[in-house]
Structure 1
Amino acid sequence: MRSDLSTLFGRAAAAAADYRDSVGVRPVRPDADAATVEKALGGPLQTEPTAAEVVLEELVSAATPGLMGTAGPRFFGFVIGGASPAATAADLLATGWDQCAYNEVLAPAAAAAERAAGSWLKQLLGLPDTASSGFVTGAQAANTVGLALGRHAVLRDAGWDVERDGLFGAPAIRIVASEERHATIDRAARLLGFGLSAIEPVPAAANGAISVPHLRRVLAETDRPTVVCLQAGNVNTGACDDLAEAIPVAKEHEAWVHVDGAFGLWAASSPRTAHLVEGVGLADSWGTDAHKWLNVPYDSGLAFCRDPELHRLVMHYSASYLTGSGATSDYVLGDLTPESSRRARGFAVWAALRELGTDGVAALVDRCCDLARRMAERLREGGATVHNEVVLNQVLVSFGGADGTAHTDEIIERVQRDGTCWLGGTTWRGRRLIRISVSNATTTEADIDVSAEAILRAASAAG
């Protein structure tokens, strides 16, 4: 049974556009919970085929009530930027083109888009122009790749070939990271065989950045092979580690330095915030997400490495049936990521960068930072306590004084139920706080003001 693809794809695009056109005015919370949507989508699988047009109509009808307004201007629960018009359109094309972005032979256009976008990203983010760039799923994959590269490098320097001999009997590696590192670092340590006990935490300063004097002391305690994980953008406060000072300290101890810059690395793109990540280019590997501050569709992460040959050596994959695999003169796309069968993520990133340009990316970062400060000020005026210095796009608040956190989860629940905006909670420095992330290009001052009013109403009702 064959459908008219132009009609079918047109209906799908129209349904997506209708949703995106209305997401800014509808309640952010879904109208239906997961169980309700599952009931509509579930039941026994029928025996006979169903026309594609009918399948599409059923999906739109059943799923729409369960959609969270993450693409809209008042979703502040996580660092989710929504997706820009050009990036969304490019992603629709990527789906329609259905390219497997394994290598240049299999997907020449996908490879070209990733090469071009990777080059632009290195320029924007202050990374060496000779670094490699792998398009992965997100920060978890990017950080896992970075730690895998570090594992190889420090064991190689210790005379051990981890690719050949594994970790059994290898010199013990330590991962030195902030006590306020992102949880993806811990999961990467588990996945790569380090184990959580290999992580040596370093105290953080008042706003969440790593304490460089403590880092220096921890590094001096032993000469074991060491991977240092630094951070551009604390997940709670937005604070960035002092990379210009911390990276040379790590290099004095011959450590591999990986920077987790899931959202904070984008600070480099703006003259107003670039000082927060000064020195970032001195590291060995970096991870970030385009689906955060660049506002492209999920899933779109980036793993960069100063040494492209090392990147290829650690991550490469080849097989006799894979045309174009196993190249020795240069790396291919599949040599830089954990996946070989993957969608062409680079088209959306390329489109977003072309749509914005360097000035547009900087303006996006600046606007979100300004709006985060506006949110903090509106809530402070309404009686909230702001617990962090708002250096980027993250705001931590509570009500009832500096230690008034007893009603935090009730306030969050009331805000989510109200539907004006959507935010979440976190625990930071032993306090349960409201966490607000501003990263959507369509968010306006009016969105901030109406959301602040909704939060203040919820706080008042919670007592």
Structure 2
Amino acid sequence: MDDRRRVLGAAHDLAISFLDSLDGRPVWPRAGYEQMCQALGGPLPAAPSDPVEVLAELARRADPGLAGIPGGRFFGFVIGGELPAALGADWLTGVWDQNTGLNSLTPAAAAAESVAGQWVVEALGLPAGTTAGFVTGAMMANFTCLSAARHAVLARQGWDVNRRGLGGAPPVRVAVGRDRHDTIDLAVRYLGLGQQAVVEVDSDEQGRLRPESLAAALDHGSGPVIVCLQAGEVHTGAFDPFDEAIEVARRHGAWVHVDGAFGLWAAASPRFGHLTSGLAEADSWATDAHKTLSVPYDCGLALVREEAALVASFGVEADYLIGGTGDPMERVPELSRRARGFPVWAALRSLGTEGLAALVEQLCDRAARMAKGLARIPGVEVVNDVAFTQVLAAFGDDARTVEAGRRLLADGTAAFTPASWRGRAVQRCSVSSWATTPDDVDRTLEAVRRVAEAL
């Protein structure tokens, strides 16, 4: 098999070595971007190199700039780990090298997406017939869903956006909570609606949209409306009141979209499903599989109740394609792309419905353990109601809180990342990895205690 067998064997050994190092290595990178540019840079060599030696060189040079994301004590941003089955399937995905656009060309890859998508719909209790598109992440999932929404709400007004564009179209209002994720605004810009289309709605102290404020906002105006709700505020983890908010939206004929990058998966848990009550009444949902579900990057899911609106937004015909009905390329903005369905299929198949629920509940239990432990440390305050996987901690005034975060990263035991909540500096702990154990939480708490005492 020429060099492929040697290269894959070397990659396996290097991968195992990295995984074995996770428990003891610093969680935050030891080298910065400029150092990595120097380590990896220099002129492009003129002569070829042995591919096994290239891999060894890459691993050696890159190592100081790698974060311990796959381990159990990385709590920065909202970044999950990789389930073993999903990791293995991702390796096979690279080896199989399937271009996932057409059912005829790569039927296994297309079928894996179709089946995995329906498993997700089933696990989350979404309406039967909901269609899944596999994209890079929640950013593109939001864009994909809102593309379908834009098409649908304008079509109800008799406007064909595909044929006529947006020039002269009825203006679309996009109602969003004050604490929505920035990717919603970015998607609105991508769609050509403009920031002026955004109607900001008040939210409560935990970041939940207020239904009465949504009603007041929608009462002042007319025409096509999209309402964006949130399953899991990125700082506090709070969930919008879907039952009440969707009822308000329906009275105004709105398309309802739910941004649930990490929180949508709460619907798979009997213990935490109440947080998503009413969510299934929406029209579209966006989530990341590479967060709570723990598949490798990059994988997001755009879930749309009205398949026709999705296909109308992205369907394409070309004489050189062996196209058919229901091709994957009809549901996403890409033609050529990685076969993202294989790792999702493997993750779900390895977990089953019980394992998926247990995964969600384990993350929440670890977050609750972390919050209780932080609250016992003198000088540390838990700022939010810990309803899901997000914990916000303050260490007194803003300067002390920022310094605490810097020292914790330098300590290397665990990683929190800085944020701001209601004008106050906080350190955000996002429990997003299946690999986090009670011992990981306790080791992190000891590191936080050392930092707090030193302050």
Name the % identity.
49
Q: Which residue of 2 aligns with 1:414?
A: 407
Q: Which residue of 2 aligns with 1:207?
A: 206
Supply the distance in 1 between the matched residues of 2:36 and 2:116 (Cα, whole angstroms): 37
Residue 459 in structure 1 maps to residue 455 in structure 2 = no
User: Does the CA contact (< 8 Å) of 1:231 and 1:260 recur in 2?
Assistant: yes
Supply the distance in 1 between the matched residues of 2:318 and 2:409 (Cα, whole angstroms): 50
Q: What SS does the aligned partner of 1:406 have?
A: helix
Q: CA RMSD in A?
A: 1.2
| Structure 1 unpaired stretches of 5+ | none
Q: Which residue of 2 aligns with 1:312?
A: 311
Q: Which residue of 1 aligns with 2:249?
A: 250
Residue 44 in structure 1 maps to residue 48 in structure 2 = no
Q: What SS does the aligned partner of 1:407 have?
A: helix
Question: CA shift at 1:164, angstroms?
Answer: 0.9
* Residue of 365, 374, 377 corresponding to 1:370: 365
Supply the distance in 1 between the matched residues of 2:106 and 2:451 (Cα, whole angstroms): 51
Q: Deviations over 1:262-311 (max 9, x none)?
A: 00000001000001001111111110001000111000100011011221
Question: CA shift at 1:20, angstroms?
Answer: 1.6
Supply the distance in 2 between the matched residues of 1:140 and 1:317 (Cα, whole angstroms): 22
Q: Deviations over 1:221-276 (max 9, x none)?
A: 11221100000000011111111221121011000111001000000010000010
Residue 343 in structure 1 maps to residue 338 in structure 2 = yes
Residue 116 in structure 1 maps to residue 111 in structure 2 = no
* Residue of 389, 392, 413 corresponding to 2:388: 392
Q: Deviations over 1:95-135 (max 9, x none)?
A: 01111111111211101111111111001112112011000
Question: CA shift at 1:22, angstroms?
Answer: 2.3
| Structure 2 unpaired stretches of 5+ | none
Residue 352 in structure 1 maps to residue 347 in structure 2 = yes
User: Does the CA contact (< 8 Å) of 1:3 and 1:52 recur in 2?
Assistant: no
Q: Deviations over 1:398-448 (max 9, x none)?
A: 022xxx323221111111011000110111111111110001111111111
User: Does the CA contact (< 8 Å) of 2:261 and 2:286 recur in 1?
Assistant: yes
Supply the distance in 2 between the matched residues of 1:34 and 1:9 (Cα, whole angstroms): 28
Supply the distance in 2 between the matched residues of 1:208 and 1:150 (Cα, whole angstroms): 24
Q: Which residue of 1 aligns with 2:235?
A: 236
Question: CA shift at 1:395, angstroms?
Answer: 0.5
Q: TM-score, normalised by structure 1?
A: 0.96
Supply the distance in 2 between the matched residues of 1:13 and 1:32 (Cα, whole angstroms): 24
Q: Which residue of 2 aligns with 1:68?
A: 67
* Residue of 404, 426, 431 corresponding to 2:424: 431
Q: Which residue of 2 aligns with 1:25?
A: 24
Question: CA shift at 1:137, angstroms?
Answer: 0.4
User: Does the CA contact (< 8 Å) of 1:290 and 1:296 recur in 2?
Assistant: yes
Q: What SS does the aligned partner of 1:230 have?
A: strand
Supply the distance in 1 between the matched residues of 2:32 and 2:58 (Cα, whole angstroms): 16
For 1:391, the aligned partner's letter is A
Give matches, 1:48-447, under 5 Å: 48-324=47-323, 327=324, 330-383=325-378, 384-400=380-396, 404-447=397-440
Question: CA shift at 1:456, angstroms?
Answer: 2.5
Question: CA shift at 1:179, angstroms?
Answer: 0.3
For 1:452, the aligned partner's letter is L
Supply the distance in 1 between the matched residues of 2:431 and 2:168 (Cα, whole angstroms): 47
Question: CA shift at 1:194, angstroms?
Answer: 1.1
User: Does the CA contact (< 8 Å) of 2:208 and 2:238 recur in 1?
Assistant: yes
For 1:429, the aligned partner's letter is R
User: Does the CA contact (< 8 Å) of 2:265 and 2:360 recur in 1?
Assistant: yes
User: Does the CA contact (< 8 Å) of 1:87 and 1:351 recur in 2?
Assistant: yes
User: Does the CA contact (< 8 Å) of 1:130 and 1:306 recur in 2?
Assistant: yes
Q: What SS does the aligned partner of 2:388 have?
A: coil
Q: What SS does the aligned partner of 2:399 have?
A: coil
Supply the distance in 1 between the matched residues of 2:101 and 2:401 (Cα, whole angstroms): 46
Q: What SS does the aligned partner of 1:415 have?
A: helix
Moved runs in structure 1, 4+ residues, more than 6 A? none
- Greater CA deviation, 232-241 or 242-251? 242-251
How has the CA–CA distance of structure 1 residues 18 and 129 changed in structure 2, closer, same or farther, with 3 Å as cutoff? farther
Question: CA shift at 1:165, angstroms?
Answer: 0.9
Question: CA shift at 1:31, angstroms?
Answer: 2.5
For 1:414, the aligned partner's letter is R
Q: TM-score, normalised by structure 2?
A: 0.98
Supply the distance in 1 between the matched residues of 2:292 and 2:24 (Cα, whole angstroms): 22
User: Does the CA contact (< 8 Å) of 2:395 and 2:404 recur in 1?
Assistant: no
User: Does the CA contact (< 8 Å) of 1:263 and 1:292 recur in 2?
Assistant: yes
Question: CA shift at 1:217, angstroms?
Answer: 1.2
Q: Deviations over 1:337-394 (max 9, x none)?
A: 1111100011101111111111111111111111111111111111321111100000
For 2:267, the aligned partner's letter is A
Supply the distance in 1 between the matched residues of 2:125 and 2:399 (Cα, whole angstroms): 42
For 2:102, the aligned partner's letter is N
Supply the distance in 2 between the matched residues of 1:338 and 1:385 (Cα, whole angstroms): 44
For 1:388, the aligned partner's letter is N
User: Does the CA contact (< 8 Å) of 1:126 and 1:280 recur in 2?
Assistant: no
User: Does the CA contact (< 8 Å) of 2:147 and 2:310 recur in 1?
Assistant: no
User: Does the CA contact (< 8 Å) of 1:158 and 1:225 recur in 2?
Assistant: yes
Q: What SS does the aligned partner of 1:79 have?
A: coil
